[in-house]
Amino acid sequence: MATLALDIEIENIGFSKKIIVSDTTGSRNMYMSMDKNAGFSRAQNLNMQLCTPDSPLPVLFDLSEPKQGNPTRWGLDIEIPVDTPTYRFLSQLNAKAREEVGGRAAECFPSFKTEKMSDDQLNMCMYPVFKAAEDGGSFGRLKVKVIMPASDDELARMSKTDADRRQNETTKVFEVNECSPRTDDNPDGVFVHTLSDPSILTRGCKVMPIISTTGVWMNKSNCGISFICTSICVWKAPEKTGVGMFNLGGILPNGVKRKSRDDDDFDGGYRPYDEDMSQDAAAIK
C-alpha cells in the first residue's frame, strides 16, 4: 500500500553514498530511500499516494507525448494545492535533494571542479522536483510520467518475458464511477471503479495517483527527480459538445432563445437572428 504524503517524514529520507552508473546507457543515479536506516533496495523506493478520494487533484492538460527520451513515457501535469501536505512534502523534498546534490558536487558533476555548488549553479543544472506556485498562486504543478500500454503489434514482436515486463510496468488506470465518504448508514463508504486506459486522462479530469521514484538521475550537466505514475484513479472530465465547448464565465447553458425579425420585414433574403452578440462576446473568453 502506498504511503500518503502526510505520513512521510522528510527526516527519514536519505540518499545513497555511492552514485550508480549504468553499464549499458552510462546514466547515473543517486538512489533515494524512504527510510535511510533500512537501506536502498527497491522496497525502500519512494512510493507515495498524492491525495485521498475526497480531494482528487485537477489535471491541467491532455497527456503529452514525449519529444525525446523514452517514447513509452508520456507526461501528465497535475495541480497541487499549496495548503496540502503533498505540496509541503514536495517543497521539502526539493530542498533536501538540492542540498544533497549541491554538497556532493565533485561526485555529481566532476566537470564543475568544485566541492560545493552555489544556488545559481544548482538553478542552472538541477530541474526542481515540481514547479512551485508563483507569488500569490494557489497551485503548484507536478509532472509525472505515465507508462503507456504496448500496442498489439509491439507485443507480437516481444518475447514473452519482455511482453510480461512491459505489461507489469504499464500504468494501471481506473475510472471512478461513484465515490462517497463514510456515513453512519454506510460505514465503509462507496468507491466504485472500473479498469480503463490512458485515453480518459484529459484536461479537466481529476486524479488520485500513486507515484514512485528511485532517486536523482544525472547526466553530464543536468539532474533531477522523475516520478513514475504506477497507478491512477480518474474522475473523468465532463464531456463538452456544442455550446458546452465555450468558456461561459460560470454561466450554465440553459438552452437557446432566439427571436427572428418580424415576418413583415422578411424579403426572402438571409437575416440573422436578433441576439445580443455583445453579451455573448463578453461571456465567451
Residue labelled with grid coordinates 510520467: 145
* Domain residue extents for the chain: 3-235, 249-285
- Is the pLDDT at 181 greater than 60? The verdict is yes
| DSSP line for 222-246 | -EEE--EEEEEEEEPPPP--GGGGS
DSSP 8-state secondary structure symbol assigned to residue 83: T
Instruction: Convert the pLDDT of each residue in 233-261 to its tens digit.
Output: 999 998 766 666 676 766 655 554 444 44
Q: Please list the alpha-helical segments (H only) found in 109-151.
A: 119-125
Report the predicted TM-score, pTM, of the whole model to 2 decimal places.
0.80
For all residues of the chain together, what is the average pLDDT?
Answer: 85
Number of H helices, E strands in the chain: 6, 14
- Is the pLDDT at 168 greater than 60? The verdict is yes
Instruction: Convert the pLDDT of each residue in 16-38 to its tens digit.
Output: 999 988 887 778 999 999 999 99
- Is the pLDDT at 262 greater than 50? The verdict is no
Q: How many CB atoms lie within 10 A of CB 114?
A: 13
C-alpha cell at 169: 510496468
Confidence of residue 14 (pLDDT cuts 50, 70, 90): very high
- Which helix or strand (DSSP H or E) is residue 78 part of? strand 73-81
Residue type, 170: T
- Is the pLDDT at 94 greater than 70? The verdict is yes
Cβ proximity of 90 and 140 under 8 Å: yes
Position with higher pLDDT, 43 vs 252: 43
